[in-house]
Amino acid sequence: MSVIRSKLKEVMENHDPKLSIRKLAKDINYHFDSVRRMYKDEMVQYPRDLLLKLCLYFNVSPGHLIGIEEADESHSTKDESIEHHEDNGPVSI
């Protein structure tokens, strides 16, 4: 199964190996915990304002910060049997 993963750690290391999460959060004027969660790929949703600030800071497109990867099936935390629907309003059964 494919999943979306954060690539912020790699972008930061390529930009400046000494750049800390705390300094980045301060530089872009964003919550440290949110930047840390994105760095550690623990974020469930990616706030558009955070993506924008990171894109401008690193001069990259959003595709450099997040990407699609194949997930290791043994580490899956969600029930794969649940169907996902696009958010087009209520779903009638």
pTM here? 0.75
Q: Residue 72's pLDDT is what?
A: 74
Tell me, what amino acid is at 35?
V
Q: How far apart are CA 27 and CA 6, in angstroms?
A: 19
Q: Residue 58's pLDDT is what?
A: 98
Are residues 6 and 43 in contact, defined by beta-carbon separation less than 8 angstroms?
Answer: yes
Question: In this predicted model, what pLDDT tens digit does every residue of 26-43 receive, in sequence order?
Answer: 999 999 999 999 999 999
Q: State which fold the 2-74 domain adopts.
A: 434 Repressor (Amino-terminal Domain) (1.10.260)
Which residue would you say has higher pLDDT here, 87 or 38?
38
Question: Does the pLDDT value for residue 16 go beyond 90?
Answer: yes
Tokens found for residue 34: 């949110």
Are residues 46 and 38 in contact, defined by beta-carbon separation less than 8 angstroms?
Answer: yes
Phi, psi of 67 (to 5 degrees): -155, 170
Q: Residue 71's pLDDT is what?
A: 79
Q: Residue 73's pLDDT is what?
A: 62
Question: In this predicted model, what pLDDT tens digit does every residue of 41-85 receive, in sequence order?
Answer: 999 999 999 999 999 999 999 999 999 999 776 554 444 444 444
